[in-house]
């Protein structure tokens, strides 16, 4: 739904194939709105993230009631802490959302709306919901190990994103080197972004893996999220590479020779 005139609407390239069902699923309009209210920008982050947090909190309360104690297990505390930090970080850095592929490229159809409003809060909370009914005590050693893994992932994720966001705003406090394209834009070729093309994806996945570790290895269900997320990130990287190859042409070939690794340095 949009109150804007037809000639003022921005249409998503991927959602304008002429196939009604496919276009409905992918999303025909890029940024549908009601007046000044941008529906996609709102739905993309806040509702799903807040519902995810509320689901985790409910699971922790259920575990406490189920166990008859006044505090959750160390495994539940790790999941709550890790995922709450991720949610707060996403909401605090919300303005960075407007440079993502979801906002700039993808249409707002069933896939994106269902993903944000249902898939995120119901699937991403699997670990907490599992721990609500399954007792897992880690002890101080494994708690420390898992905490260190998550801290490592968060450091990569936040540091690389900050570096990119600062550079986009015209700030370059570390005097990072960059490659100037014929379009006039610059691509980072040092710092985190000199190690690989998507260091933030690497940090994001390490964090996703650390969410599952507190649940142990009794079931593969709690590892569904990090498995799905791995596929999602690789697919997104492939889409981004295709778009950049079309956008920059020969400059992209030059860039990939300078920064050959895509997500994991010396691996992929």
**pLDDT, tens digit, 9 for 90 and up, residues 115-130:** 999 999 999 999 999 9
pTM, full prediction: 0.88
Higher pLDDT, 97 or 121: 121
Over the chain, what is the mean pLDDT? 89
User: Is the pLDDT at 43 greater than 80, yes or no?
Assistant: yes
C-alpha 123/C-alpha 127 separation (Å) is 9
* pLDDT score at 90: 93
- Buried b / exposed e along 197-229 (16+ C-beta atoms within 10 A): bbbbbbbbbbbbbbbbbbbbeeeeebbebbeeb
Structure tokens at 15: 């959602």
Domain ranges for the chain: 38-137, 139-268
Task: State mean pLDDT over 219-223.
Answer: 95
User: Is the pLDDT at 208 greater than 60, yes or no?
Assistant: yes
Report percent pLDDT > 70 for the chain: 94
- Buried b / exposed e along 27-42 (16+ C-beta atoms within 10 A): bbbbbbbeeeebbbbe
Report percent pLDDT > 90 for the chain: 59
User: Among 14-18, 64-68, 238-242, which is the least confidently predicted range?
Assistant: 14-18
* pLDDT score at 41: 86
* pLDDT score at 173: 66
Backbone CA torsion sign across 191, 194, 195, 196: positive
pLDDT confidence tier of residue 180, bands split at 50, 70 and 90:
confident
User: Is the pLDDT at 150 greater than 90, yes or no?
Assistant: yes
User: Is the pLDDT at 262 greater than 70, yes or no?
Assistant: yes
* pLDDT score at 1: 47
């Amino acid at each position: 739904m949009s109150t804007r005139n037809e000639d003022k609407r921005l249409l998503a390239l991927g959602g304008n194939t002429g196939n009604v069902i496919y276009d409905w699923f992918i999303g025909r309009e890029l940024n549908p709105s009601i007046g000044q209210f941008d529906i996609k920008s709102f739905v993309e982050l806040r509702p799903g993230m807040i519902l995810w947090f509320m689901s985790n909190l409910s699971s922790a309360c259920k575990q406490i009631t189920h166990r008859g104690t006044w505090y959750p297990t160390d495994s539940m505390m790790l999941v709550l802490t890790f995922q709450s930090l991720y949610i707060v970080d996403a909401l605090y850095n919300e303005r960075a959302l407007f440079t993502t592929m979801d906002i700039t490229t993808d249409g707002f159809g069933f896939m994106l709306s269902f993903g944000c409003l249902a898939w995120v809060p119901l699937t991403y909370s699997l670990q907490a919901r599992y721990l609500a009914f399954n007792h897992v005590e880690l002890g101080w050693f494994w708690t420390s190990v898992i905490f260190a893994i998550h801290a490592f992932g968060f450091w990569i994720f936040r540091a690389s994103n900050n570096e990119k966001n600062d550079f986009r705003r015209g700030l370059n406090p570390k005097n990072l080197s960059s490659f100037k394209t014929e379009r006039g834009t610059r691509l980072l070729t040092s710092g985190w972004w000199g190690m690989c093309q998507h260091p933030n994806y690497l940090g994001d996945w390490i964090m996703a893996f650390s969410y599952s570790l507190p649940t142990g290895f009794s079931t593969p269900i709690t590892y569904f999220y990090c498995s799905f997320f791995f596929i999602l990130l690789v697919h997104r990287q492939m889409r981004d590479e295709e778009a950049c190859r079309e956008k920059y042409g020969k400059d992209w070939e030059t860039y990939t020779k300078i920064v050959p690794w895509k997500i994991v340095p010396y691996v992929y």
